[in-house]
Amino acid sequence: MKSCALSNVKKVSLELGGKSPLVIFADCDLNKAVQMGMSSVFFNKGENCIAAGRLFIEDSIHDQFVQKVVEEVGKMKIGNPLDRDTNHGPQNHHAHLQKLVEYCRRGVEEGATLVCGGRQVPRPGFFFEPTVFTDVEDHMFIAKEESFGPIMIISRFADGDVDTVLSRANATEFGLASGVFTRDISKALYVSDKLQAGTVFVNTYNKTDVAAPFGGFKQSGFGKDLGEAALNEYLRVKTVTFEY
């Protein structure tokens, strides 16, 4: 933005960071929530701008959700990304791998529970284990900062306390994407309206479309890609007024 201002006041559209919240209610389809929750975090080794940076799980299903996730993580095949049977490939470069190691170390240091993963895979390449943290409190570094890696950050919330979990989910400087899982359409509409993010996924995740405008709120940037709204980023509006 500064360089655009100092040059010739170029128009700019920015997609920046994210720490996208995913809220999973007890009335969801649990098996689907587990599968999509994993996809929301582990897709492309977590190197995904809209990855779910933090999962909020309703208290009554929290332990069951975590158990199912850990079971599924254990089934993931780590290997060559060009092999169609591979579920989890290497990180982009060594510096990022080291950042993920430090990220997990800090999570443990601040008191979060490392359920699985958290280490480099002992094989050639920049492979990092799919990782799950629970008991993550709002003040912790890993609750606020984006990892951009395969690290699932899980926090619990009290049964039925919709407004409090919304407040916690919105307590981030970012606003790129978000998600909610529930069978209650009224709850889904209420939550999607209140979430401060440019995209809200309901009972799915990572499902985008060329016709659907994409872009963030707050420190995640401004402007839109995709959809009719994206065309406005390339247009200038002119008014011509005349008498005859």
Q: Which residues are catalytic?
A: 15
Joined tokens for residue 228 = 């009719």
**Beta carbons of 195 and 176 less than 8 angstroms apart:** no
Buried b / exposed e over 35-62, threshold 16 CB at 10 Å, is ebbbbbbbbebbebbbbbbbbbbbeebb
Distance CA 4, CA 8 (A): 6
Distance CA 19, CA 152 (A): 12
**Beta carbons of 15 and 49 less than 8 angstroms apart:** yes
What letter does residue 77 receive in the DSSP assignment?
Answer: P
Residue for token digits 């994407």? 177
